[in-house]
């Protein structure tokens, strides 16, 4: 057969195969479209086509695995805020106290802080709307807005009955994913344990675009002042893989494997390695706190430091989310698909992901050794959360009466944090004040 004829036959066969595959996809797409049309026409009550479309998207994606899903247009902007860690707003953390919207802490340097809002202020109204019965989502929706626009906030300061209104101009606000052990009275983070300033403490609430630089800044603030470090990942559900990788890079040698990812084809493995010499002194003892809500990027950081013996894990076994989700924008960037495309693997080659049928004996997540495991009941976990929230709000002003919660938690000891402190102290030199009599000081020189 002439080469020309053979080429034509091969091209025809290829086009036929492509058309067949495309026809299969189009067949299901047409059935889905037909179903939406039938439901819209015959359902007992009128129903919007958009609602049916979103229901179909959710069903199609959530049926794949728990982490794939459809992000609606109204949720996509909030999703981007979580990753970019920036939004237009006034700069306050708010919560519900006695069923009223309350300022937990204004962020230093933000419009709210400069205007005079302080921890404990009750927000009575936003742009003339009474906040009684407001959810946190309602309040956030009203206080956020375009940079340069003004929002009118009516508050009652603690100990002052007469309310006051503040017109506040919105600015670019950075979400704080890197937090200290407590705040000072002027709302600045303090990155050292109150009872032992030799121990540094950094809490990561997520991994976003600014987490790495903020983490590095907090380390530099403590440079030369600490002899041990606690990284608290409790409740951290993850975020950007790149941020977790960059923080791992600060602790291990260049060229060491941080994490590997595998896609549909297990032979196509991508290995991520450290690129820089360690930023943190290799002799500095480190403890990482995890709990059952530590997931994804948190587990990558904890697993990496555990596998290289660079940190001791304390707390409870982590969640076990070892899958990678790519965010694929659709509808011209108005909404998106969150689709699982890869799995994470530890430097040791062990699995991170906890499958549906996994048992406690299987390899998944990040687990402390038995002597460093501190399990909490749901009631104890709630108390730790409230204690941590109280420590992270602005310090109490002199002469100000203590709240009921402050009185209740004044002498509370976080059992997991205390175990982390005790673990570090075993590796740190004793304080000079604790030296046995007759022992030379240079034997306890700082490393």
| Catalytic residue IDs | 296, 307, 321
Are 96 and 121 a contacting pair, CB within 8 Å? no
Which residues pair with residue 201 across a beta bridge? 230
Provide the CB-side half-sphere exposure for 232 (13 A, CA). 27
Both tokens assigned to 35: 């179903």
Are 105 and 88 a contacting pair, CB within 8 Å? no
Distance CA 344, CA 176 (A): 26
Q: Do strands 286-290 and 228-232 pair parallel, antiparallel, or not at all (unpaired)?
A: parallel
Helix 241-248 and helix 211-222, axial crossing angle in degrees, nearest 10: 30
Token pair 């994470």 is found at 344
Rounded (5°) CA angle 85-367-199: 65
Q: What is the DSSP string of 190-229?
A: E-EETTEEEEEEEEE--B-TTHHHHHHHHHHHHTTT-SEE
User: Positive or negative, the Cα torsion across 308, 312, 316, 318?
Assistant: negative
Which residues pair with residue 87 across a beta bridge? 173
């Amino acid at each position: 057969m002439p080469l020309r004829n053979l080429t034509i036959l091969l091209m025809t066969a290829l086009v036929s195969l492509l058309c067949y595959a495309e026809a299969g996809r189009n067949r299901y797409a047409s059935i889905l479209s037909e179903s939406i049309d039938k439901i819209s026409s015959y359902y007992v009550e009128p129903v919007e086509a958009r609602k049916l479309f979103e229901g179909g998207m959710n069903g199609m994606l959530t049926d794949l695995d728990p982490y794939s899903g459809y992000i609606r247009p109204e949720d996509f902007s909030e999703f981007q805020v979580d990753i970019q860690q920036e939004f237009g707003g006034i700069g306050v953390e708010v919560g519900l106290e006695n069923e009223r919207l309350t300022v937990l802490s204004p962020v230093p340097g933000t419009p709210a802080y400069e205007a005079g809002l302080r921890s404990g202020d009750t927000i009575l109204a936003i742009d003339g709307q009474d906040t009684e019965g407001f959810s946190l989502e309602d309040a956030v929706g009203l206080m956020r807005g375009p940079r340069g626009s003004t929002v009118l906030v009516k508050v009652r300061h603690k100990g002052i009955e007469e309310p006051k209104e503040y017109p506040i101009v919105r600015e670019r606000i950075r979400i704080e994913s890197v937090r200290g052990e407590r705040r000072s009275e002027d709302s600045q983070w303090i990155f050292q344990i109150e009872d032992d300033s030799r121990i540094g403490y950094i809490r990561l609430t997520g991994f976003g675009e600014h987490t790495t630089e903020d983490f590095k800044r907090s380390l530099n603030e403590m440079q030369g002042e600490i002899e041990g470090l606690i990284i608290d990942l409790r409740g951290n559900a993850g975020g950007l893989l790149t941020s977790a990788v960059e923080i791992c890079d600060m602790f291990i040698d260049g060229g060491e494997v941080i994490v590997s990812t595998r896609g549909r084809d297990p032979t196509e493995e991508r290995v991520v390695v450290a690129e820089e010499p360690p930023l943190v002194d290799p002799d500095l003892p480190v403890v990482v706190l995890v709990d059952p809500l530590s997931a994804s990027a948190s587990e990558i950081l904890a697993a990496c430091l555990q596998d290289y013996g660079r940190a001791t894990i304390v707390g409870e076994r982590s969640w076990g989310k070892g899958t990678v989700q790519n965010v694929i924008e659709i509808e011209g960037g108005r909404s998106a698909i969150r689709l699982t495309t890869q799995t994470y693997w530890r430097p040791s080659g062990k699995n991170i992901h906890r499958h549906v049928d996994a048992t406690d004996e299987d390899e998944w997540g990040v687990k402390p050794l038995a002597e460093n495991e501190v399990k909490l009941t749901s009631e104890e976990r709630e108390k730790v959360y409230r204690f941590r929230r109280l420590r992270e709000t602005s310090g109490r002003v002199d002469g100000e009466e203590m709240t009921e919660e402050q009185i209740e938690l004044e002498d509370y000891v976080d059992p997991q944090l205390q175990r982390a402190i005790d673990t570090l102290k075993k590796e740190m030199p004793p304080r000079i004040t604790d030296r046995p009599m007759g022992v030379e000081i240079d034997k306890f020189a700082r490393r």
